[in-house]
Amino acid sequence: MRKLLLFKRRTGIKSTGLFLLLLFFSANTFAENKNKSGDEKNDTIKSGDVSGLKFRSIGPAFTSGRIADFAVNPKNHSEYYVAAACGHIWKTTDNGTTFEPIFDNYGAYSIGCLKMDPNNTNVIWAGTGENNHQRALGYGDGVYKSVDGGKSWKNMGLKESRQIGMIAVDPRNSNVVYVAAEGSAWGPGGDRGLYKTTDGGENWEKILEISENTGVNNVVLHPENPDIIFASSEQRRRHVFTKIGGGPESALYKSTDGGETWRKLESGIPDVDKGGMGIAISPVDPNVWYAIIEAAMDKSGFFRSTDMGESWEKMSDHHESGQYYNEIYCDPHIIDKVYSMETWSKYTIDGGKTWKNIGNNDRHVD
């Protein structure tokens, strides 16, 4: 009896399975016939089915990329702006606890430099285009200006500058602004050189032109007499197969009349092809100027002048890659203390003779 019941149950299962299998094939055949006849279109997913879904970022990682520059409110150090080489501009008002993206809706994602107006902390200048010449550098579309603390921005021109290295604002007159435009790393021409505006960016004049291949990557104003200008040019070119990271047109320049005329600074400076350079003027004693220079024939090093650039002394062989770094900043209180932004950032307290790492020795710039 148990065997008979088991046989019936098994037979019932097989019969049910066979029935469902036949039903499945019949439904598929029916659907195929409808599609072939054109009576009904078989859309697996309709646009309305996913209209409520939005894309969100899930990576690729939790770390950020290169940070190109900062602009800190001198009256409130909890407020500052951050320029990302490939990530727009960010603002914090709580000393970095939280950040707000403030440039996402404008013409360039790559930012090279920032400058806060020394007379009005709500006025921010941004130079677009990453200020180096690596293979995958992002390019920009000129200079932007915000007059409301980053809430809105206006493109002020120099749209063919591609990469902008530095911006300086005359502390006596906020309408006077200087822009160091490096130009494209991949070709000649464009807005390339040192530009000056006297009307807040409405019009620009090129006041230092090197050539169609060489732009200006740094501009620093004398803190007591802004008509004295310290600038550096950088010759570089990118190709698919190689990089030319320097040349005879890289040099240091000085003007004493607001950029009307210029002289090349050569006394004590290596007389060989040079690459990327960084420059700074000590706010403690503006007669003291510094330069970090990448040069051919093992003549790279860190240089110091005590007569506003008229003559230079090599303090050490210390330098870094001009492709990414060679940016230096003087301490606001100690004349011989200078910071060098590098893979492992360093500082000197003896005018460049010796250098030490800042903080954690294993901390990398990225």
Q: For 248-270, what is each residue's pLDDT tens digit? A: 999 999 999 999 999 999 999 99
Query: What secondary structure letter does DSSP report for 156?
Result: E
Check if the beta carbon of residue 141 is closer than 8 Å to that of residue 181: no
Nearest to 255 by CA among 277, 224, 231, 288: 231
CATH of 67-265, one of 3.90.1170.40, 2.40.110.10, 3.30.160.270, 2.130.10.10: 2.130.10.10
pLDDT at 29 over 60: no
pTM over 0.85: no
Per-domain residue ranges for the chain?
67-265, 278-361
Name beta bridge partners: 83. Answer: 69, 89
Instruction: Measure the CA–CA gap between 141 and 217, rounded to whole angstroms.
Output: 16
Cα–Cα distance measured from residue 171 to residue 219, given in angstroms and rounded to the nearest whole number: 14
How far is it, in rounded angstroms, from Cα 341 to Cα 327?
A: 5
Note whether 360 and 350 are within 8 A (CB): no
pLDDT band, very low/low/confident/very high, at 7 (cuts 50, 70, 90):
very low
- Run of H or E residues at 243: strand 243-244
pLDDT value of residue 14: 45
Query: 10 Å Cβ neighbour count for 86?
Result: 15
- pLDDT tier at 325, thresholds 50, 70, 90: confident
The DSSP result for 113-143, as a single string, is: EEEE-TT-TT-EEEEES-SS--TT-----SE
Tokens at 260, concatenated: 């009307």
Q: Which of 77-81, 159-163, 320-324 has the lowest mean pLDDT?
A: 320-324
> Which sign, positive or negative, has the C-alpha torsion 351, 354, 360, 362?
positive
